[in-house]
Chain A
Amino acid sequence: DTAVSQTPKYLVTQMGNDKSIKCEQNLGHDTMYWYKQDSKKFLKIMFSYNNKELIINETVPNRFSPKSPDKAHLNLHINSLELGDSAVYFCASSQGALGSYEQYFGPGTRLTVT
């Protein structure tokens, strides 16, 4: 059973388009995250939701909008895609928002903007 799953795995699109990435976790966790990993493999948090409430909102262009319809799902919508948005986007979850909980990561979505 896949604990944290993301769709699609690969996404190739043109500048200016709008796209969405979906994430689902079947671990019963309360907290979910979106991370961006750039070409140098640096990992940065973008957003975090705890029980469907946004608790972390890093300095991210407002073209990125997360949505959590329920505790098991966290989607990421990106408007007006730019070349610099090309990266691997990881969804993750943890049992709760407390810092003592480890995170479980999905397989990633490789976004390529041309």
Chain B
Amino acid sequence: AQSVAQPEDQVNVAEGNPLTVKCTYSVSGNPYLFWYVQYPNRGLQFLLKYITGDNLVKGSYGFEAEFNKSQTSFHLKKPSALVSDSALYFCAVRGYTNAGKSTFGDGTTLTVKP
């Protein structure tokens, strides 16, 4: 069975500082990994994904994520946080088999303070 862990319920950073939102995963075979963001009272928005190739993936709004196969991690990062980045972030994994079923982490609330 596939699973995703987001070990931090809440991450607080000051505006202008770098941010990291952590994600580890478990899946059979090669993983497909995703990050989504949810603003209050909105649906989830796709940020970026890792399929294959370069371990550093760049996505929307200046976010990037680093795939680390040995540590089974896919941490989301941004060099300089904005107050507008404050939202709920979800990591998700999809496997080769399983009809493309997505398993989502429990979410991490990011708060960026001015």
Residues of A within 8 A of B98 (CB): 99
Q: Judge if B88 is at the interface, Cβ distance under 8 Å.
A: yes
Residues of B within 8 A of A4 (CB): 43
**How many interface residues does chain A have, given as a range?**
20 to 34
Contact with A along B42-76 (1 / 0, CB 8 A): 11111001010000000000000000000000000
Q: How far is the CB of A73 from chain B (nearest CB, A)?
A: 17
CB<8 Å pairs between A and B, sample of 26: A41-B38, A41-B88, A41-B107, A42-B107, A43-B44, A43-B90, A43-B104, A44-B104, A45-B102, A50-B99, A55-B99, A55-B100, A56-B99, A56-B101, A90-B44, A99-B94, A99-B96, A99-B100, A99-B102, A100-B49, A102-B34, A103-B34, A105-B36, A105-B45, A107-B42, A107-B43
Contact with B along A52-75 (1 / 0, CB 8 A): 000110000000000000000000
- Residues on A lying within 8 angstroms of B by beta carbon are 4, 31, 33, 40-45, 48, 50, 55-56, 90, 92, 94, 96-108
Chain B residue with the shortest CB-CB distance to A43: B104
Give the most central of A41, A99, A106: most B CB within 10 Å: A99
Contact A105-B94, Cβ < 8 Å, known A42-B106, A98-B100, A99-B100: no
Besides A92-B43, A103-B102, 19 other CB < 8 A contacts?
A: A33-B102, A40-B106, A41-B38, A41-B88, A41-B106, A42-B106, A42-B107, A44-B104, A45-B101, A45-B103, A90-B43, A97-B99, A98-B100, A99-B94, A99-B101, A100-B94, A102-B34, A103-B36, A105-B44
Partner of B46, one of A41, A97, A103, A106: A103
